[in-house]
Structure 1
Amino acid sequence: MIAWAGRLIVLFGAAHTILALTLMRAARYAGDWFTGALWHDDLAAMSPANSALWLSLDSFGVPLILVGMTVLWFDRHGITPPPFIAWALGLWTVFGAVVLLLTPWPIMAVATGLLIAGSRRPARIPDAVEAV
C-alpha cells in the first residue's frame, strides 16, 4: 500500500510539472526566468512569465515528487511513514478539491487513503536486525 501511495505521489508531482512545462507551454518563458525579468514582478498582478513559473517549477509538483520519493524510501527500508504525512496530504487534497474542483485531486485522495491504511501497519524489522 505504501509503495503504491509513494508511486502515485511521484506520478502526480511529475505529471503536473512536465505537463505544465510542455502542454501548458510554460517552458517558453524560461528565458524570462533566468534573465531577472521576474525580480520586480508584482505577485498580485502576475505577468505571464511569472504565472508560468508558479504553474510549473515553483508549483507543488517538485515538492510532491520529493515527498513521494521519501515515502518510497521509507517503504524500501521497512519504515512505516509517519501518519502526519498522510493527514497533511489529505487536508491539502480536500482543500484543492474544494477550491479547484476540475483537477485530478482524486489521484491524491487515493494516495492519501493508501498512506493512511499503510501507516496503521506495524513497522517491519529491518533485514540486518533479523539476521542477528
Structure 2
Amino acid sequence: MIKLAGWLIVFYGSAHTLGALFVLGAVRHADAWFSGALWREDLTDMSPANSALWLSVDSFGVPLILVGLTVLWMNGRGVTPPAFIAWILLAWTVVDAVILLFTPWPIILLAGILLVLGIRRAEHEGPMTSHVRPGR
C-alpha cells in the first residue's frame, strides 16, 4: 500500500506540473520568467506569466513529487514513513476538495488513505526488513 501511495503521489505531482506546463501552455511564459519580468510584480494582481508560473513550476506539483519519491525511497529501504505525512496530505486534500470540487483531488485522497493504511499495517507487523546492504 505504501509503495502504491508513493507512486500515486509522484504521478499526481508530475501530471500537475507537466500538464500545466505543456497542456495548458504555461511554458510559453518561460521567457518572462527568466528575464526578471516577475521580480517586482504584485502577487495580488498577477500577470498571465506570473499566474502560469504559480500554476506550474511554483505549484505544489514539484513538492508532491519530492514527497512521493521520499515515501518510495523510505519504503524501498524498509523504513515506514511517518504517519504525519499521510495525515497532513489527507487534511490538505480535504481543504482542496472543499475549495475546488472539480479537480483530481480524489487521486491524492486515495494515496493518503493507502498511506495511512500501509503505515498502520507496518506498525502492526513490526519493523520492516531491509534488503539494502548496511552503509547505503
Deviation above 3 Å: which 4+ runs of structure 1? Answer: none
RMSD of equivalent CA atoms: 1.2
Distance, in Å, in 2 between the alignment partners of 1:19 and 1:127 is 36
Within 1, Cα distance between the matches of 2:74 and 2:42?
40
Alignment match, 1:118:
118
For residues 50 and 128 of structure 1, the distance between their equivalents in structure 2, rounded to whole angstroms, comes to 44
Percent of residue pairs identical: 59
Equivalent pairs, count? 129
Give the corresponding residue for 2:100: 100
- The 3-state SS of whatever aligns with 1:22 is helix
Runs (5+) with no aligned partner, structure 2: none
TM-score for the superposition, normalised by structure 2: 0.92
Matches of 1:10 and 1:118, distance apart in 2? 17
Which residue is equivalent to 1:71? 71
Amino acid corresponding to residue 21 of structure 2 in structure 1: L
Q: What is the match of residue 17 of structure 1?
A: 17
1:33 matched residue in structure 2: 33
Normalised by the length of structure 1, the TM-score is 0.95
Unaligned runs of 5+ in 1: none
